[in-house]
Each structure stands twice: as C-alpha cells, then as structure tokens.
Structure 1
Amino acid sequence: MARINLRPWREELRAEKQQQFVVVLLGTVILAAGLTFLWKSDMESRIAYQESRNAYIQTATSQLDSQIKEIENLRRKRDELLARMRVIQDLQGKRPVIVRVFDELVRTLPEGLFYSDLQKKGETIAIQGMAESNSRISALMRRFDESAWFNEPNLTNVAAADGARAGYSQFNLSVNQQTPEPEVEEGK
C-alpha cells in the first residue's frame, strides 16, 4: 500500500479554517463595534435633540413667566386706576351734596343760635354750638326733623356757657345726614 501523508493537507485546511474563523471573528467584532458606535451616536443625537427641546421649553416658560408678571402688574395698575376713578367719580358726585348740606345747615339755623364746631364721621354730623335759650335748641331739632337732608337729631348735652358767653347755653347735638331722592317732574 502506498503511503499518503494527509497531515500537511489537514494542517493547511485547519490553518485555513482557523484563518477564516479569525477573519469572521474580527469582522464580527468590527461589525459589533460599528453598530455600537452607530447606536451610541444615535442615542447622543437623540439626547442632544431632547436637551435642545428642553432648553427651548425652559426659555419659553421663562418668557411666559415674565409676561405673566407683566400682565399681573398691568392688572394691578388697572385696578388702582379704576379705584382712583371711582374715588374721583364719588367726589364729583358728592361735591354738590356737600354744598347742599352746608346750605341746609344754614337754612335750619334759627335766630339766636350759632355753631362753634361741626364734625362729620360717616353720615353723622356732630354739632357744637351756643344758643340764647333752650327753646332755640328745640327749634333747631324740629327744623332738622322737617329737613329732607337730615334726620334723627340727637341732643347729647346742654350746659350753661362760661365767661364771655354767659347767658348762653352750650349744646352738643348729632344728626344723620341723608341725601333726598331727586324730585320727578310731572309730564315727563
């Protein structure tokens, strides 16, 4: 029988297969590294995109916050202006009322009586004055009752005056001020 040496051929085949295995292994490692690099790059780009969106949202939120503060300031200023306008309108509306109240105080004042102090708190007018007699004080109270601008006169104190006003009675009186309803003209 002939002697055939198959070892070098097997060794060459084994070396070739080992070389193919190394090439496939290196290819797989390179492909895995490439895929890992691509995946990592994609994730980094997605993270960067999300961070840019978050930054945009934060910027927009800060702009909206500043606009909200500006709107609140404008609303506060508007409310202050409206309050001032209401005060001015109230003053404009009450200006003739005050004149009428003083006019009515003079109209109700009987002869032989004068006021020394007037103070108004809310709708109540506190009056201090001097009268020649108690009947003049009674006449003043009746006139207040009859007046459309005053009601509920309340006499709190009557005393004899001292010093230069001897013979006079000093009195303290309070009366509520009211604004009468405007008269409706007939035929309209």
Structure 2
Amino acid sequence: MPSINLRPWREELRAKRQKEFIAMLVAVAVAAGGLFFLWNTQVSGMIAEQKARNSYIKTSMAVLDKKTKEIAELKKKREQLLARMKVIQDLQGTRPVIVRVFDELVKTLPEGLYYTSLDRKAAQVDIQGVAESNNRISGLMRNLEGSEWFANPNLRDVKAAKGGDQSAFDMTVAQVTPVSEQDDKGE
C-alpha cells in the first residue's frame, strides 16, 4: 500500500527555518552588540588618551612659559650686568686719562701763573687762576692750544686781582684724548 505521509512536513520545515532565522538574528544582534561595545570602548579610550595628551601639553606649556619668563629675566639681568661691566671698563680705561690731564695742566703752566680753581664738566675744563701779567695768560692759552690733550682755550674774563699788580682770569678749555700711535696703526 501506498503510504501517505500525513505529517505536516511543510510546517515543520517552516518552523525549523524560523528557529534558525531567529537563532541567526540573535547571533547577529549579539555580534553587533559586541562590536558596538568594542568600538565604544576603543573610542572612549582614544578620547581619554587625547585628554591626557592635552593636559600634558597644557602643563608642559605652563612649565615652558615659566622657563621663558625666567630666561627673559636672566637676559635682562645679563644686559644690566653687561652695562655695569662696560661702565666699569670705561672707568678703568679712563683712569689714567685724568692723571695725564693733570700732568698736562702742570706742563702747560707758565711761570708767574697759578690756578685757584679747576672744574671739569664732561669734556670741558673751567680754569680760574691768578697771573703776574696778561702776557702769562696769553702764554697759558698758547701752551693749552699746543697741547695734544687740550683744544680751543677760551678766555672768559680777566680782571685785576686784590693786590692790583696781578690779574685774575677765568677761562675754559676743551679736554680731548689724543689718538695713540698704536691706534693709528690699528694694532
């Protein structure tokens, strides 16, 4: 006899396929949820790492700003020290000049004349003194003009001194520093 299959095989196949579909759907959803979780974790980690880098850069910039300010202050102090050193060197370099100026004042002083006051302002020397005669004052002016340490003597005033036989004078002269022979040669 022929056998007739009365079982609903189509419905069973459909139910089996539906169960497989649901299982696949659940597997895909679990896999998608896992991937989303991994992606979210990675992005959160990258964001946290970038925030850490940003905070490190900010602290490094603060340190560098502080060091930059310190360097600027050190440069300012250095410039001040260099300026002080230059002043000291200039003073040390011109120390012998005043000695030479006084020596030259003595060398240019003719007999019968003496100084009562010397005053130096910058490169100008004010001289006041007393002379036996006006010729002595003229001789002093010639001597100052011929000196390599002085230039442009200018007689401002001549009048009779207290005793009447002497003349009091007031003059100015420019003080110059002669160029030495070594400076001329460039040595």
- Range class of TM-score, shorter chain: 0.7 to 0.9
Using the size of structure 1 for normalisation, the TM-score is 0.74
1:42 Cα deviation after fit: 1.1
2:124 counterpart of 1:119: no
Aligned partner letter, 2:117 = S
Distance 2:22 2:163 in 1: 133
- Once the two structures are overlaid, the 10-residue window that deviates more, 79-88 or 39-48, is 79-88
2:159 counterpart of 1:160: yes
Note the aligned Cα RMSD (angstroms): 3.2
Distance 2:73 2:9 in 1: 94
1:58 Cα deviation after fit: 3.4
User: How many residues are treated as equivalent by the alignment?
Assistant: 179
Deviations 1:57-93 (A, max 9, x none): 3333333333333333333333332332222222122
Alignment of 1:52-131 (within 5 A): 52-110=52-110, 111-121=112-122, 123-131=123-131
2:174 counterpart of 1:175: yes
Aligned partner letter, 1:55 = S
Aligned partner letter, 1:35 = L
1:103 Cα deviation after fit: 2.6
1:107 Cα deviation after fit: 3.0
Contact 2:134 2:167 in 1 (8 A): no
Contact 1:133 1:169 in 2 (8 A): no
Distance 2:174 2:21 in 1: 117
Deviations 1:76-124 (A, max 9, x none): 3333323322222221222121122123223323323424341221x33
Distance 1:57 1:180 in 2: 60
Distance 2:149 2:19 in 1: 121
Kindly tell me: are residues 128 and 180 of structure 1, through their superposed partners in 2, closer, same or farther at Cα, counting changes over 3 Å? farther
Distance 1:40 1:118 in 2: 90
Aligned partner letter, 2:88 = I
Using the size of structure 2 for normalisation, the TM-score is 0.74
Gaps of 5+ in 2: 183-187
Please give the secondary structure, in 1, of the residue aligned with 2:121: strand
- Once the two structures are overlaid, the 10-residue window that deviates more, 137-146 or 126-135, is 126-135
State the match for 2:185 in structure 1. none
Contact 1:159 1:170 in 2 (8 A): yes
Gaps of 5+ in 1: 184-188
Aligned partner letter, 2:121 = K
- Once the two structures are overlaid, the 10-residue window that deviates more, 136-145 or 16-25, is 16-25
Kindly tell me: are residues 138 and 147 of structure 1, through their superposed partners in 2, closer, same or farther at Cα, counting changes over 3 Å? same
